[in-house]
Amino acid sequence: MSDISEISSLVKPHGLVVLGVFDESGVNKESGLVLVGNAGSAMWTVFKRSVEFADGAPDPLDRWSRRIGKAIATELGASVVFPFEGPPYPPFLDWAKTTGQAFPSPLSMYIHRTYGLWHAYRFALRLAVAVTEVQPGSIHASPCLSCNNQPCLDACPVDAFSTGAYRVDDCMAYLSANESSGCREMGCRARRACPVAVEYQYQSEHAQFHMDAFARSKYALKIVLGR
């Protein structure tokens, strides 16, 4: 068996944490699947010092994640899966839900019971043995269920979430037309309005990195050009 504390100690120097665990027995020949990612901006401090951040080549965070994930998998004798490799893309959100640690939120992104909206999955480790951690099952509930006011739904400057579905076209048009807005410089205003795990909110530089990448994406370009 693999001890989850061992895995946590291996990913911690990279600013990463274990975000969830479950047993895949009967689905794959491997047994334990461990989701690894960032919570808050601890990863950002490490990533900024990396070769990938400084070399000017595309997709620096994905390349950094691939290097770190493969190294840790090799040390554990595990295989590794990345959310950005596809199509077809691995079902990370389905896996996250299965762990019992993350749930859909009104903003369409998943909310973690400990880290709120301030987490992201960088890779998953598949181990040939079970992981020694109590499986979460269904004993946890989404923190959104006890959030009566849900301020996230009223915070977006273009009401991109008011209809119950994320209107990505409106969001992208606003980001493209307002490069100095709070959403571009500090991260999504609706996300920042969430009262859960505010201590893990991304640093502004970290949030801006992701928002700039989002706004520069091929999808964003198609929205702006009307294609």
* Per-residue pLDDT, 217: 76
**Whose structure tokens read 């205003």?**
189
200 to 12, 59, 118, 213: CA distances (angstroms): 16, 24, 6, 21
* Per-residue pLDDT, 11: 98
What pTM was computed for the model?
A: 0.89
Domain positions in the chain: 2-142, 147-225
* Per-residue pLDDT, 160: 94
**Do the strands 131-132 and 2-3 form a parallel or antiparallel pair, or are they unpaired?**
parallel
Distance CA 45, CA 175 (A): 25
Which residues in the chain land under pLDDT 50?
Answer: 1, 134-138, 219-227
Q: Please tell me whether residue 54 adopts helix, strand or coil conformation.
A: helix
Angle at 220 between CA 214 and CA 224, to 5 degrees: 145
* Per-residue pLDDT, 220: 46
What digits encode the pLDDT tens for the residues 60-98? Answer: 999 999 999 999 999 999 999 999 998 899 999 999 999
What digits encode the pLDDT tens for the residues 129-154? Answer: 777 554 444 457 899 999 988 999 99
